[in-house]
Amino acid sequence: EIVMTHSPATLSVSPGERATLSCRASQSVSSNLAWYQQKPGQAPRLLVYDASTRATGIPARFSGSGSGTEFTLTISSLQSEDFAVYYCQQYSNWPLTFGGGTKVEIK
């Protein structure tokens, strides 16, 4: 099973600042990686797939990068609605696996 690890577990950021979230895979997943955002009491929302392709309707301030084992989700200027938990997910191998998430909180 491929283990996905987020860092940091919690990120404290002020509105308007840039946030950089990392996700590492225990073995290469090529570019088969997605990012999701989840707010309390809500289902996850797809942000990015294929490591760097924004999903439909996702604002341009969200960008994904990386390949192999190291991935990054960048939020260029945090808005109030962006404070949430972010998960990466690999779809290179079965079983599909998620990271434990990074919580982005207001500083």
Partner 1 sequence: QVQLVESGGGVVQPGRSLRLSCAASGFTFSSYAMHWVRQAPGKGLEWVTVISYDGSNQYYTDSVKGRFTISRDNSKNTLYLQMNSPRAEDTAVYYCAVQLATTAEFFQHWGQGTLVTVSS
Q: Which of 26, 96, 105, 106 binds partner 1 (CB under 8 A)?
A: 96
Q: 28: which residues sit within 8 A by CB, 6+ positions away?
A: 68, 69, 92
* 5 binding partner 1? (CB under 8 A): no
* 62 binding partner 1? (CB under 8 A): no
Residues 12, 24: Cα–Cα separation, whole Å: 20
Q: Cα(first)–Cα(last) distance of the chain, in Å?
A: 35
Which one of the spans 12-20, 40-48, 58-66, 68-76 is the region binding partner 1 (CB under 8 A)? Answer: 40-48
The contact set with partner 1 (CB under 8 A) reads 32, 34, 36, 38, 42-46, 49-50, 55-56, 87, 89, 91, 94-101
